[in-house]
Amino acid sequence: CVEMENKKRLTRAFGIWGNTDKKKFWDFLDDILIWAKNQNLEPFITTRIRDNLPKSFKKKVKIINSANDFKKIDFLLTLGGDGTILSAARAIGNRNTPILGVHVGELGFLAEVTLDNMFERLNIVAKGDFSIQNRMVLEAKVANGKKTKKFYALNDFVIDRGKSQRLITMDLFANDHFVAKYKSDGLIFATPTGSTAYSLSSGGPIVMPKLKAIVVTPLSPHTLTLRPIVFPDGQTLEIKFVDDDQVVFAVDGQISEYLDPQSKVIIKKSPFEIKMITFNDSNYFQTLRIKMGWGKRG
């Protein structure tokens, strides 16, 4: 697959996806709409934004009423933290709409743009002078009782003990080969994008986003011999539960449900990727240094 695309694009419309709980989002919304008018771009907003608009709002904007409306826009502008980007990515799914993330909040690692340089970057995007980085997505097929569901994660899937105080025991298989028996608080299955999230805080490795791999990181394993492991993206991972207790399955830290001990979880690379807008002067290692304190002492 193509990991970076650098073609010029004609931009006619874009969507706005924001964390409506943040005051700064509302502070900048009007300015974004004015910018769009000056650029002759058609803005779309989500139904959540529409439902929370102040009564004084008089501008006419189009609405993203369904997931298929993402096909009508050339990119989606997200304003919030990493969680805002993750929720937008799941909504877009396989529709190939690029995401431009603007950091509005505390620690935002996924967003390349800040409020200070937002309009400078938006001007570049409007001219089509940007690149696309394809981000790997994980797919999980979960058979829980009589129901089977599919989930997609840009960051990670996590299986943990939930409310139980006991360690959980899981058998991990890769392409039908037994890997190990994990007795721990849980397991994290992360994409390269998600390697700098929960997996990193649990001792997992940093994996550059352009790589295609699955990182499996145990949560507080009972033995020192169980360390994080990186699988190639062609591997299909299956998790079988040994104990009789329920466990919790979480998607990007935002969706969760309890699984019965007889449940089956199969995780593999998704057939689609998420497109993230990036720029010629973007520097992944600089982002690590600034936002993660990478390489700093004390």
pLDDT, tens only, 269-292: 999 999 999 998 988 888 888 888
Distance CA 192, CA 267 (A): 15
Q: At what angle do helices 118-126 and 23-38 cross, to 10 degrees?
A: 40
Residues 6+ apart with CB under 8 A from 15: 43, 44, 45, 46, 64, 69, 70, 73, 75, 76, 77, 97
- Is it the case that residue 202 has pLDDT exceeding 80? yes
Write out pLDDT tens, residues 47-76: 999 999 998 898 889 999 999 999 999 999
Residue type, position 202, single letter: S
Listed as own residue / partner, the contacts of 208-212 with beta carbons closer than 8 Å and 24 or more positions apart are 208/284, 209/133, 209/135, 209/276, 209/284, 210/3, 210/4, 210/133, 212/136, 212/269
As a whole number of angstroms, the distance between CA 180 and CA 244 comes to: 19
The pLDDT of residue 39 is above 70: yes
- 201 pLDDT above the threshold of 90: yes
pLDDT at 21 over 60: yes
Average model confidence (pLDDT) for the chain?
92
Per-residue pLDDT at 176: 97
Q: What is the pLDDT of residue 2?
A: 41
Q: How is residue 209 written in tokens?
A: 């986003």
For residue 93, is pLDDT > 80? yes
CA distance 145 to 247: 13
Amino acid at 250: A
Active site residues: 82
Percent of the chain surpassing pLDDT 70:
96
Question: 176-188: per-residue pLDDT in tens?
Answer: 999 999 999 999 9
Dist. CA 84–CA 98, nearest whole Å: 14
Average of pLDDT values for 144-149? 90
Q: Given pLDDT bands bounded at 50, 70 and 90, which one contains residue 170?
A: very high
The partner residues of 241 in beta bridges, in order of sequence, read: 170
In this predicted model, what pLDDT tens digit does every residue of 254-271 receive, in sequence order?
999 999 999 999 999 999
Reply yes or no on whether the pLDDT at 105 is more than 80. no
Query: What is the distance between the alpha carbons of residues 197 and 181, in angstroms, rounded to a whole number?
Result: 24
Confidence tier at 297 by pLDDT (50, 70, 90): confident
Confidence of residue 107 (pLDDT cuts 50, 70, 90): low
User: Is 4's pLDDT higher than 70?
Assistant: no
Alpha helices in 73-117 (DSSP H): 82-92
